[in-house]
A and B are shown apart, each in its own frame.
Chain A
Amino acid sequence: MTAPPTAAALRPLARWLNLLRHFVVRDIQQRYLGSLWGGLWALLQPLLLFGIYAVVFVQILKVRLPATAGGDFVPFLVASLWPWTAFAEALNRSSNAIPEHASLLAKVAMPRAVLVVAPVTASFALHGIGFAAVIAAAALLGREWHLAGIPAAVALFVLLYGFALGLSCALAALQVFVRDLQHVLAQVITLWFFLTPVFFTREMVPPALGRVLDLNPVTVYIEGIRGALVMGQQPGIATFGIALATTALAALVGAFVFRRLSRHFEDFL
């Protein structure tokens, strides 16, 4: 009662963060519940995927990278595959978060956004750690990264997280009303993967596809992170400006849609 007003104002935020922490931990626990190797899968899964791509592109297709991209395919793929995996998984796991927790929402009053923010945060936390581990392991094996690019790469990774948050909030809210979204999302994400320069560069594709890459909001984050870590290109003002604007726009749209719809989730679940 006599707590200073700032403390009273902080209490809902503290409760929100406390809840988020719990749901993130639970989300991670739930993924690996009953699996023998537990959290190790967070690292192994993208590593396996990475191995497949490396074999397909380097051994079978014999993809040659332009010299501007560093020439070596392995670090090139590492720097883009982990951020993409975090992003794609965040979208996949959060889009159905509200119907998944329908029974909880029907009985317990809680801030609903936590349910969406938690799986996105868990995906970026797990794959962020995996990303750092893979880069560190490669460095130990003698691979030279551009260490000066790390702050910029981290900043862009965080901005990508913000973009995923905004997009997920909008998708998760719409999903409550139009369940069809869930069925097409996996295909859309696969298509999105091929339209994002994860395993190729702009120079390797026809110019028509280049324009698609410009329209693809994820391109700027992936290219920026890879450029900073692999090619030693510090992302310029333009890159950060576009990334920041994209994240802000997604966050605004996500917040608007979620706010408008979340009051009525219960009526449609």
Chain B
Amino acid sequence: MSDVLVRLEHVSKSFPRVARRRDRMRALWRLLAGRVPADPAVVLDDISLEVRRGESLGIIGENGAGKSTLLKVLTGVLAPTSGVVRVAGTTAALLELGAGFHPEFTGRENVQMAGTLMGFTPAQLREKLDDILAFADIGRYVDEPVKHYSSGMVVRLGFALVAARRPDLLITDEVLAVGDEAFQRKCVRWIEDYLGGGGTLMLVSHSMYHVQKLCRRAAWVHQGRLRALGAADEVTQAYLAHQEARVAADGQAAQNARAGTEFQVRSLALAGLADRIPAVIESGDTLAIAAEVRSRDGREPVLAVGLARADGSALHGVTSQMDGARGRAAGDGNYAFRFEYPALPLQPGSYLVRVHAMDPEGLRLFDTMECPFTVRGTTREWGALKLGHRWPDGGDA
């Protein structure tokens, strides 16, 4: 079936500015008279898009671009200021699980209430109640007030409700940090099953990797407008190029500010991977790094190279001086360094390459540049490092 599940036609949303007291009264009179509030702040501007049944759409954009407002308009929480929203089916969002719960009531009572809000009839609810409670698996807590729940338990109950609803459209974001790991696996299995069964997904994400992996199409929302809508690969690449240009502009400004230091890192590139940001490398491949350092007075600099996890914690570091390596003089006080990590022993994940320009004595650190990259691969091991290991009494490792 390829019928249209969601259709937005020229949808705009603006919020009235009501900082001053007088504004509230004026807005009230205008609304009662059937007009729109004066001088609104536009959050969504003329957005039109369609999602067909069984199709997945990724929504990307910077913070504050209007993604959340778009979702609220879509789920009916917010009424659009102008335009038409049509959703031909049920929707459920995994964004605010347990949002409608009342802390004073028990889990069972809240499931009944939230289920009614989701559109269950009393008969359906009676039929599904046991399934829901079994899926949530919170034991005797179902008959305790929700105020005594851990946040994980609230979320479990909320997810169980969504799972029982089996909505036509599922809205979610990348962070599916639902309860403990066993429950997360249960959720992921459910979502895979849902998608396999022809479910429709709308994914709001900052992870281009997830959007490319899970969605066929993507919509890029930029300052309230739909900047691009199309195949996920194309839209995510256009978005990344835009981000990169912005980062480069920031970087250029920073570089100009640093130009006066004695030893300055002019460039850093992950060889052969420059066409993608962040760079992607297969686990076990060779990571080749090229950096150029400019020395103001022509003295030969030392380069420090290191690997760090995405959070900045160091994994490894070494300087050219330790290894007796030197940069190649490239004229005008510039020195080019090449460096390789053969058979990169990192698990799949996000990492940073970090280089520092140091004085010829290798003592003082002058300048730093970082480049993020992603290691791809499949493994069931965890942690940052891929370490050789074996079980002396047998095993495949």
Contact = CB atoms under 8 A, between A and B. Distances in A.
A257 B105 CA distance: 33
A177 B104 contact: no
B75 A177 contact: no
Interface string B95-129: 01001101011000000110011010110000000
B129 to A, nearest CB: 14
B31 to A, nearest CB: 6
Given A107-B100, A177-B24, A264 B113 contact: no
A266 B122 CA distance: 29
B363 to A, nearest CB: 57
Interface stretch (A12-20, A82-90, A143-151): A12-20
Contacts of A155: none
B76 interface: yes
Contacts of A18: 116, 121-122
A166 to B, nearest CB: 16
Given A15-B119, A33-B104, A177-B28, A264 B77 contact: no
B240 interface: no
A112 B164 CA distance: 25
B79 A264 contact: yes
B108 to A, nearest CB: 13
A19 B117 contact: yes
Contacts of A26: 102, 105, 113
Nearest to A14: B121
A209 interface: no
Interface string A109-124: 1100000000000000
Contacts of A106: 77
A263 interface: yes
Contacts of A263: 79
Contacts of A268: 16, 18, 24, 27
A261 interface: yes
A104 B99 contact: yes
B77 A109 contact: yes
Nearest to B116: A22
Contacts of B77: 105-109, 266
Interface string A20-31: 001000100110
A18 B119 CA distance: 9
Given A18-B122, A107-B77, A260-B34, A178 B28 contact: yes
Contact of A30 (B18, B104, B112): B104
Contact of A109 (B76, B96, B121): B76
B188 interface: no
Nearest to B79: A263
B182 interface: no
A7 to B, nearest CB: 12
A174 interface: yes
A30 B103 CA distance: 11
A34 B103 CA distance: 13
A77 to B, nearest CB: 35
B25 interface: yes
B24 A22 contact: no
Contacts of B253: none
B15 interface: yes
A34 B25 CA distance: 39
A110 B75 CA distance: 10
B78 interface: yes
Contacts of B113: 22, 26
Nearest to A22: B116
A261 B32 contact: yes
A267 B15 contact: yes
Contact of B112 (A22, A33, A257): A22
B79 A108 contact: no
A256 B15 CA distance: 22
A3 to B, nearest CB: 13
Contacts of B24: 177-178, 268
A46 B209 CA distance: 64
A1 to B, nearest CB: 11
B99 A257 contact: no
A30 B119 CA distance: 22
Nearest to A103: B99
A269 to B, nearest CB: 11
A19 B112 CA distance: 11
7 contacts: A30-B102, A260-B32, A260-B34, A261-B31, A264-B79, A267-B16, A267-B18
Interface of B: 15-16, 18, 24-25, 27-28, 31-32, 34, 37, 75-79, 96, 99-100, 102, 104-105, 112-113, 116-117, 119, 121-122
Q: Give the 3 A-B CB pairs with smallest separation, nearest first.
A: A109-B76, A107-B99, A263-B79
Given A22-B116, A104-B100, A264-B31, 6 more contacts: A14-B121, A26-B102, A108-B99, A177-B28, A264-B27, A267-B16
